[in-house]
Amino acid sequence: MSLNQTPRASRYHIAFLGRMNSGKSSLINALADQDVAVVSPVAGTTTDIVHKAMEIHGAGPVVLIDTPGIDDVSLLATARIARTRQAIEKADCAIVVVDATTGEGEPERELYAYLEEKQVPLIVAVNKTDLVDDKLSLSPRSRHSVTNAPYIEVSAKTHRGKEELLRAISTLAAKAEERQGPPLVGDLFDPGDRVILVIPLDAQAPKGRLILPQVQTIRDILDHGGIAIAVGMEQLKQLFSGKNSAPRLVITDSQAFKEVDQIVPPATPLTSFSILFARHKGDFDLLVKGAQALDLLRPGDSALIAEACTHHPIEDDIGTVKIPRLLNAKVGGELNYKWQKGGDYPEDLAFFQAVIHCGGCMLNRKAMCSRLEAAAAAGVSITNYGMTIAACHGILPRALEVFQW
């Protein structure tokens, strides 16, 4: 997979924030060396989030996120500001663009405080320095005590400060790399071990291709020197009925958990793609506790089923049919379900007794963690599809054993 094909969720996310007409879009275009974002002297031109995937030397694959102005007071302001907040939820770092001709003020101060609360590291890019006299330039820290973040003087027009800004981004990205979570699966086996991936080719499987969690898991096994063996259900039976030595680990699609559990001998560790993603992208302990808390649900309780992307529900769809059926059987009655799909996520989760989230393969770790933290802050238990299915079939302990949980 070339860098250009790195899935968005695996890229370092950089949100460009600031007032309307501070030059966020122009700065993105200058960094990307092409017209990515809509640029206009008319304030408020960026009305929606714009993403640009690119590579920054030293930072690797990144995605630049253009956002509407934080000082928008138009009729559409509420919706636009909500979108900016969503961008912050998934941002690994933020570039706050300040107009050198107007300087910082209350909007920036509020933004710095919000970013600090959300623990998003930031760089202040003082833009339009081509329009101000050098003596009026805003960079000396003595004139700006509102944040300790690096101040970099830039001009989207002349490209002044561009290299310095790219270097500052690379430094933040390198720090973030050090804080990365565990690999997807590479630490659960030794080089040369065989790892079986069970991929049922049923009605849910897209024609002619694997889905992203499967592709990423295979890639991670290969990156760590393992032998990835992908099988369907029939081949899995053949594999364990012969004289083959046992593989180190079996990873199944969660929807086939029950059947696979019966085929794979108990001595062979078994887990699922979505449980691997739970550990890789989120707070594993929180999600396990959320799965255990499913025991406390009672008929009539409310559960949110959240998916991070939109797709047409198909017959026996996992989110709308299978999981509700399994949960209803587990609690002995009907739960009250609400569904949320795509980039939106409810602000108020306190209404629910449980949140069941998909594996979140389309989200970066930051965005997934923001969703988990929102549930924890509201005092609501949260778990994911794989753990829910394992818990409903009574095989959660087996599915977690490989993680020594």
Go through 214-227 and write b for each residue having 16 or more CB atoms within 10 A of its CB, e for each that does not.
bebbbebbeebebe
Verify binding: residue 386, ligand SF4, rule CB under 6 A.
Answer: no
Q: How far is CA 11 from CA 3, 19, 118, in A?
A: 10, 26, 19
Binding-site member from 50, 362, 390, 402 for ligand SF4 (CB under 6 A):
362
- Residue nearer to ligand SF4 on the CB measure, 100 or 199: 199
Query: For the purposes of burial, counting CB atoms within 10 Å of the CB of 72, is it exposed (0-12), middle (13-18) or buried (19 or more)?
Result: buried
Binding-site member from 113, 131, 309, 350 for ligand SF4 (CB under 6 A):
309
| Region binding ligand SF4 by CB under 6 A among candidate stretches 66-74, 118-126, 153-161, 304-312 | 304-312
Verify binding: residue 287, ligand SF4, rule CB under 6 A.
Answer: no
Residue least distant from ligand SF4 (Cβ) = 358
Amino acid identity for residue 325 in this structure: R
- Residue nearer to ligand SF4 on the CB measure, 79 or 309: 309
Distance, CA of 24 to CA of 15 (rounded, Å): 10
Helix (H, G, I), strand (E, B) or coil at 167: helix
| Local structure of residue 206 (DSSP, 8 states) | P
Verify binding: residue 99, ligand SF4, rule CB under 6 A.
Answer: no
Q: How far is CA 283 from CA 49, 167, 173, 276, in A?
A: 27, 30, 21, 12
Verify binding: residue 307, ligand SF4, rule CB under 6 A.
Answer: yes
Contact 188, 249 (CB under 8 A): yes
Only one residue has tokens 């969503």, namely 86
- Residue nearer to ligand SF4 on the CB measure, 69 or 359: 359
Inter-axis angle of helices 24-32 and 162-178, nearest 10: 80
Contact 274, 213 (CB under 8 A): yes
Give me the least distance between CB of 341 and ligand SF4, in Å please. Answer: 8
Give me the least distance between CB of 16 and ligand SF4, in Å please. Answer: 25
The tokens for 14 are 């950089």
Give me the least distance between CB of 359 and ligand SF4, in Å please. Answer: 4
| Region binding ligand SF4 by CB under 6 A among candidate stretches 55-63, 84-92, 110-118, 354-362 | 354-362
- Residue nearer to ligand SF4 on the CB measure, 221 or 318: 318
| Region binding ligand SF4 by CB under 6 A among candidate stretches 78-86, 116-124, 257-265, 303-311 | 303-311
Give me the least distance between CB of 312 and ligand SF4, in Å please. Answer: 12
Verify binding: residue 303, ligand SF4, rule CB under 6 A.
Answer: no
| Region binding ligand SF4 by CB under 6 A among candidate stretches 192-200, 283-291, 305-313, 342-350 | 305-313
Verify binding: residue 359, ligand SF4, rule CB under 6 A.
Answer: yes
Kindly report the number of other CB atoms within 10 A of residue 364's CB atom.
21
Radius of gyration of the chain (CA): 24
Verify binding: residue 360, ligand SF4, rule CB under 6 A.
Answer: yes
Verify binding: residue 361, ligand SF4, rule CB under 6 A.
Answer: yes
Give me the least distance between CB of 255 and ligand SF4, in Å please. Answer: 11
Report the Cα–Cα distance between both ends of the chain, in Å, rounded: 33
Give me the least distance between CB of 358 and ligand SF4, in Å please. Answer: 3
Contact 99, 127 (CB under 8 A): yes
Contact 254, 273 (CB under 8 A): yes
CA 171 to chain centre: 21
Verify binding: residue 226, ligand SF4, rule CB under 6 A.
Answer: no
Give me the least distance between CB of 360 and ligand SF4, in Å please. Answer: 5
Verify binding: residue 331, ligand SF4, rule CB under 6 A.
Answer: no
Give me the least distance between CB of 184 and ligand SF4, in Å please. Answer: 13
- Residue nearer to ligand SF4 on the CB measure, 196 or 362: 362
- Residue nearer to ligand SF4 on the CB measure, 94 or 367: 367
Distance, CA of 348 to CA of 326 (rounded, Å): 26
According to DSSP, the β-strands at 302-307 and 270-272 are: unpaired
- Residue nearer to ligand SF4 on the CB measure, 87 or 361: 361
Verify binding: residue 308, ligand SF4, rule CB under 6 A.
Answer: yes
Inter-axis angle of helices 284-292 and 365-377, nearest 10: 50
Pick the closest to residue 369 from 377, 397, 323, 114 (CA basis). 377
Binding site for ligand SF4 (CB under 6 A): 307-309, 358-362
